[in-house]
Amino acid sequence: MNRSPTYIGTVQDVQGATIGVVMDKSTVSGLSFIDGEGYRIGQMGSFVKISIGFLNLYGIVSQVGASALPDNVADLDPYGQRWLRIQLVGEGHAGQKFQRGLSQYPTIGDNVHLVTESDLRAIYGHGELDDYVSVGCLASSESIPALVNINKLVTRHSAILGTTGSGKSTTVAGLIRSLSDKDKYPSARILIMDIHGEYERAFKGLSSNLRVGASQGGSTAPLYVPYWALNFDELCAVCFDGPLEGNRLAAVADAVLELKREGLRGFPCPGITEHSLSVDSPVPFSIHKLWLDLHIKEYKTVIPAPGGDANERIPAYVLDESDQPVETGDAMRVVAPIFRSVKTTGPAEERVQHANEGANLRQPLAALASKLRDPRYAFIFRPGEFLPNENGVPSADLDSLLHSWVGGEQPVTILDLSGIPASILDILIGALLRVLYDALFWARKLPEGGQERPLLLVLEEAHSYLNSERNTSAGSAVKRIAKEGRKYGVGLMIVSQRPSEVDSTVLSQCGTIFSLRLSNDSDRGQVVGASADNLKGLFDMLPILRIGEAIIVGESVSLPIRCLVKTPPVSERPDSLDPAVVARGSEVEDGFSVPGGWNQKRDPVDYIPVVRQWRSQSSDYIHAVEEETTTTQTEGENDNGMD
């Protein structure tokens, strides 16, 4: 009897969606060629189909050999190495598109066949691949591309998980490059939260780059997060050391609200009035004036007004030799006024009393003053053109801010957060995500909204700020987007090397999971628990995956895929490659030289540039020199102006 070249064997055991297949004696295991293409028969992760009339059931091989032998026949066939265990994942009628779920099950004796390239084309939609992007090829057959559905990948959220050195960053770079093809997707909009500053090199020509502390006019623009765009809880978390409660919280809230009212009079904001204004409204106000006003209330002392009403009091400033106040305070320079100490003895006109207008805010105000002076926080408290003057009037509004974040000419925007102090990293990431989500949520019916032009948010090193054991601002924002973002065109891509430390609520909302090599049991358990597919046998392969090899499961792939991810050229990979201890000398890979190594000729020792980079907080030597020169020139101009 002539068998089809795709024939493998017959169904001999059915347990729900798990079936046992015995390979036919005439089936040759190993490599088989069909229509000029090579296929591996009996490979873990390979696809099979079972034809039932006009219906094809599709499954994936999860166990091979004796371990796949059903217990009830183990005694009859102790050498059952030619058994396969298959996990059924969906079905498709002849000439129709594949769909998940099963309308019927196979029966004993049904024939099982290899899935060929033509079958996979049918599964992916009969060649209608506009909605799909290739991320590599199947590990079991390099002639078959691994395709993911963009619609479901972006809006249904995804996670890219893998231990250090598994190829996670290059996978992200390759995938984002495919999604940001300007010819195919001219309106693509992708924002990368880059914690370690490693992705700028990977997207040259495709990205707008914003970095904390970057100088104006360079290829990388300065990243600003105006304090007045934060809600009140975020503002308090950034400004003060520790939470405020009771009267102290009320005093700060009242002062902020009053300053926002004043700012609104000088800088009218479309869409809001003084009657609809709240303490959370993103309306400009001067935080420097807030600090000075509250500081004066806390520290002000008073004396009787000379020649006035007996009950009238005036500020008791310390006076110089000419009876002029030594310092009355300067909000923008964060200089406090100098008041006289309380004096309860002597003539009545010389007695100094405390004004008693404060709310016990001395310690929080000291923390705020320190941060207002700290150059590390300048991207928040001195945000360039978004910095309001003392009257609450900035040079630019939030439309310019959003344009710089997600409205540039390039499809990818990289926010380099490597210069943000670690103590406020999760707060700032939460604020960034909330501002973006709120803006796109309320603009969902506009051309710039998420429904018209979806936004993909890529969160690198997510475990560092999405830990389930800590209730963080970033965690709250990500949970909200994970639960609601699909409806409003805001998608997440969670990237982590420790999935066990990522909040399970967030991970369970990821419709697609790219799992690279994972050796830790708890990490693998988190991935298995988050996956909607019952493919434990497939996930058992995670510890032995090759570098750049991934198992892709979820909504954006028609069938679970064991994939070799397409690796970008070395010059287009993130700056996360392992340093070469023994380099290849003058060899060049893909036009990109590999520097360094212990076997290279030793360069002249010069630690002056090392200290320069350390002090300038920049890894780019040329940039650091230019920045230093610019700073020196600016200081000279300021000195001349002061003279």
Domain CATH code at residue 437:
3.40.50.300
Residues 30 and 65 in one domain: yes
Q: Over 60: is that where the pLDDT of 108 sits?
A: yes
Rounded to two decimals, the pTM is 0.82
Residue appearing with tokens 């939460």: 430
Does residue 391 belong to any structural domain of this protein? no
Residues 520 and 606 in one domain: no
CA distance 637 to 641: 6
Per-residue pLDDT reduced to its tens digit, 341-367: 988 887 877 788 888 888 899 999 999
Does residue 263 belong to any structural domain of this protein? yes
Residues 101 and 175 in one domain: no
Domain boundary, last residue among 94, 128, 162 = 128
Does residue 184 belong to any structural domain of this protein? yes
Contact by Cβ (8 Å): 557, 158: no
Residues 60 and 171 in one domain: no
- The pLDDT value recorded for residue 586 is 46
Give, in order, the Cα–Cα distances in Å from 276 to each of 168, 180, 231, 391, 442. Answer: 47, 40, 15, 20, 16
More confident residue, 37 or 464: 464
As a whole number of Å, the end-to-end CA separation of the chain is 103
Residues 196 and 270 in one domain: no
Give Cα 68 distance to the centre of its chain: 41
Does residue 229 belong to any structural domain of this protein? no
- The pLDDT value recorded for residue 621 is 54
Please, what is the Cα angle at 361 between 360 and 367, to 5 degrees? 150
| Residues 6+ positions from 571 with CB-CB distance below 8 Å | 201, 590, 591, 592
What percent of the chain has a predicted confidence (pLDDT) above 70?
83
- The pLDDT value recorded for residue 94 is 66
Stretch 241-261: mean pLDDT: 91
Residues 427 and 289 in one domain: no
Residues 44 and 92 in one domain: yes
Does residue 220 belong to any structural domain of this protein? no
Residues 266 and 362 in one domain: yes
- The pLDDT value recorded for residue 464 is 85
Does residue 386 belong to any structural domain of this protein? no
- The pLDDT value recorded for residue 72 is 57
| Residues 6+ positions from 603 with CB-CB distance below 8 Å | none
Per-residue pLDDT reduced to its tens digit, 481-514: 999 998 999 999 999 998 888 888 888 899 999 9
| Residues 6+ positions from 108 with CB-CB distance below 8 Å | 10, 11, 12, 14
- The pLDDT value recorded for residue 77 is 54
Q: Over 80: is that where the pLDDT of 372 sits?
A: yes
Across the chain, mean pLDDT equals 83
- The pLDDT value recorded for residue 633 is 46
| Residues of the domain holding 604 | 595-642
Residues 115 and 162 in one domain: no
Contact by Cβ (8 Å): 352, 301: yes
Stretch 49-55: mean pLDDT: 87
Residues 114 and 150 in one domain: no
* Banded pLDDT at 267 (limits 50, 70, 90): very high
- The pLDDT value recorded for residue 7 is 85
- The pLDDT value recorded for residue 308 is 66
Domain count, the chain: 4
- The pLDDT value recorded for residue 634 is 43
- The pLDDT value recorded for residue 41 is 74
Does residue 169 belong to any structural domain of this protein? yes
| Residues 6+ positions from 325 with CB-CB distance below 8 Å | 317, 318, 319, 337, 338
* Banded pLDDT at 85 (limits 50, 70, 90): confident
Residues 480 and 600 in one domain: no
- The pLDDT value recorded for residue 524 is 83
Stretch 381-404: mean pLDDT: 94
Residues 617 and 555 in one domain: no
Per-residue pLDDT reduced to its tens digit, 146-172: 888 899 999 899 999 998 888 888 899
- The pLDDT value recorded for residue 74 is 52
Stretch 84-96: mean pLDDT: 80
Does residue 614 belong to any structural domain of this protein? yes
- The pLDDT value recorded for residue 568 is 82
CA distance 65 to 581: 42
